[in-house]
Structure 1
Amino acid sequence: MFNTIYINVGNLFIIRRCRDRQIQSLVAEIQGLQLKLTDGRDAVLWTRGIGDYGTTFVSTETWNQISQQTEKVLWSKTVWFPQGVPRFGFIIWLAIRDRLSTGHRSSVWGQPQHCLYCGEPDETRDHLFFACPYTFTLWLKMVGNLLGTDPDPDWNTTLSTMMTRPYDRLTFILLRLVLQATIYYLWREPNERKHHTSSKTVDQLAKMINKTVRNRITSTNYSTNPRLDGLMQ
């Protein structure tokens, strides 16, 4: 449809016959450019901002250029923090945005499902965390007195309490770890019940969550980090 465009030493374009109007328009635009030649060498520059260029590539600066900037949400620190577990953070992120494939959401696809913990016909996100008697009993066992107030089965109240109360550093780390691990195992357990005949009791699931949190704390080398000293206590 069209042939190659050649550039000679004199910066003149030697163009073979081309029938594509878009190519002809492109060539005409290139020919109209005024080139400013210098004696310096050509170099690749990376955009750092408006009118700001650098010779090195920095992924953070490039990401800030191409990403859409949005306002920081209040619950971000509840999901992402250095001591957190990425797969736990992903599940709670879906939960906060109400994107987990609960029975309520599955019913839209013609696949109604009930709560496998208590039999509630409308399995919503708010029911699982923690309006269901089973899940709320587990939450009570795991959170203990970390919240600084009586735990509430309402999902929004639980998140609001965590985001607004003035917790010390270690308590806030533990509280987020416990919340994320609890939600992760509560979300995973129904799949285990669907594919296997056995189901875990509240005490069995609590023991698994407790061990997971302890293992995560141990992996942070808390004993050698002054900012995490006392975390296991």
Structure 2
Amino acid sequence: MTNSSSIYYVVSAWDKFRQSKPTVGWSKPVWYNQNIPKMSFILWLSSIATSSLSVPLPMVFDLRCYSSAVSLALFVMWATSRCKGKSLSSIVLKLDLPATVYYVWRERNNRRFKNSSQPAAMVLNSIKSTIRLRLSSLKIAHSAANDSTLREWNMIMNS
């Protein structure tokens, strides 16, 4: 708790009171430097809600409501396996996961509690706009791979 000069460190208190558990496989796509905090928080909440039910992350959110047979749990597994490294394309995948969960969850809540809905294309546009906006705030180095990724997102890199 203290060192030889009797200084108390916050980390000592944290280590004393917290329950230490092994790192889960989906933590890196949720918590990373370029994340959008409110979206990562919703993704984290969904992981807690589903893990307490012994259901893989996050089966609660199913994309079938948008005429897709692919569940978000499969998307999470696919994205997690490709979210390695710090490349721009990896950052885009890391942004896509929480943004998708956030907007699908928001759409689900609007349908359930406000009796209103948006077409899937509008939800998808919200996801794309959010990712594009976050990418525009990053310092991105010039490279062939980064320029290609930015072109795919219809973005022009500032010199």
How high is the sequence identity, in percent, across the aligned residues?
A: 26
Deviation at 1:213, TM superposition (A): 1.0
Select the structure that is richer in strand: 1
The answer for unaligned runs of 5 or more in structure 1 is: 1-46, 106-124, 137-151
Contact 2:42–2:101 (8 Å) recurs in 1: yes
Query: 1:162 and 1:57, CA in 2 relative to 1: closer, same or farther beyond 3 A?
Result: same
Q: In structure 2, what is the equivalent of residue 178 of structure 1?
A: 96
Task: Determine which of 11, 32, 43 is the counterpart of 1:60.
Answer: 11
Contact 1:88–1:181 (8 Å) recurs in 2: yes
Q: In structure 2, what is the equivalent of residue 74 of structure 1?
A: 25
Deviation at 1:57, TM superposition (A): 4.3
Aligned length: 142
Query: 1:213 and 1:135, CA in 2 relative to 1: closer, same or farther beyond 3 A?
Result: farther
Contact 2:42–2:102 (8 Å) recurs in 1: yes
- Verify: 1:129 aligned to 2:46, yes or no: no
Q: State the AA in 2 paired with 1:191.
A: N
Q: TM-score, normalised by structure 1?
A: 0.50
Q: TM-score, normalised by structure 2?
A: 0.68
Contact 1:126–1:154 (8 Å) recurs in 2: yes
Query: 1:189 and 1:222, CA in 2 relative to 1: closer, same or farther beyond 3 A?
Result: same
Q: State the AA in 2 paired with 1:163.
A: T
The one-character-per-residue Cα deviations of 1:145-179 (angstroms, maximum 9, x if unpaired) are xxxxxxx7144433333333474532222112111
CA distance in 1, matches of 2:80, 2:122: 29
Residue pairs, 1:1-233, within 5 angstroms: 47-48=1-2, 52-99=3-50, 126=59, 128-130=61-63, 132-134=64-66, 136=68, 153-165=70-82, 167-169=84-86, 170-194=88-112, 196=114, 198-219=116-137, 221-223=138-140, 232-233=150-151
C-alpha RMSD over aligned residues: 3.3
Bigger Rg, structure 1 or 2: 1
Contact 1:135–1:186 (8 Å) recurs in 2: no
SS at match of 1:223: coil
Q: Which has the higher contact order (CA 8 A, sep 6+)?
A: 2
The one-character-per-residue Cα deviations of 1:22-73 (angstroms, maximum 9, x if unpaired) are xxxxxxxxxxxxxxxxxxxxxxxxx24xxx4445443334312332221111
The answer for unaligned runs of 5 or more in structure 2 is: 152-159
Contact 1:129–1:183 (8 Å) recurs in 2: no
